[in-house]
Amino acid sequence: MSFVSSNIKYLRKLKRYGQESLASALSLTQAAVSAYEVGKSQPTPDGLIILSDFFGVSIDDLLKKDLSLQEGQDIIDLEQTQLEVIKQEIAELRRAIDLLSATVQTRIPTPNNQLIDI
């Protein structure tokens, strides 16, 4: 049994997306999202990859597990992991900015049109 339809709807609601906003984020139509959720059509293999990446779950879980029974904990854990990676990337960017700022000298003109380094 495939849980893809119910999982798409569950994950969409968990992330607080409406059908239209999810459709826009995934470059789909609202009708396509609706058709997926009610089981009238199934996502293509490429569509499954996009949904999997967007929601942060494996294709296997998207198809085979009833994610609504996970009580959101696995998804919350995954989002926390992603959040930690983002925090690390921000810290690395801040360090790079600090290094660049330390090496860049700024010159300002004095009243007699000479430039001084600050």
pLDDT of the chain, 118 residues: tens digit per residue: 789 999 999 999 988 899 999 999 999 999 999 999 999 999 999 999 999 999 989 999 999 999 988 765 555 666 667 777 888 999 999 998 888 776 666 667 778 777 666 6
Q: In 3-state terms, what secondary structure has residue 2?
A: coil
- Note the pTM of the prediction, 2 decimals: 0.60
Same domain, 12 and 63: yes
Looking at the fold, whether 41 and 88 belong to one and the same domain comes out as no
Sequence-separated (6 or more) residues with CB below 8 Å from residue 86: none
**Same domain? 16 vs 62:** yes
Q: Whole domain around residue 82: which residue ranges? A: 74-117
Whether 39 and 93 map to the same domain: the answer is no
CB contact at 8 A, 58 and 36: no
Are 48 and 86 part of one and the same domain?
Answer: no
Each residue of 86-110: pLDDT tens digit? 889 999 999 988 887 766 666 677 7
User: Do 14 and 38 share a domain, yes or no?
Assistant: yes
Number of domains forming the structure of the chain = 2
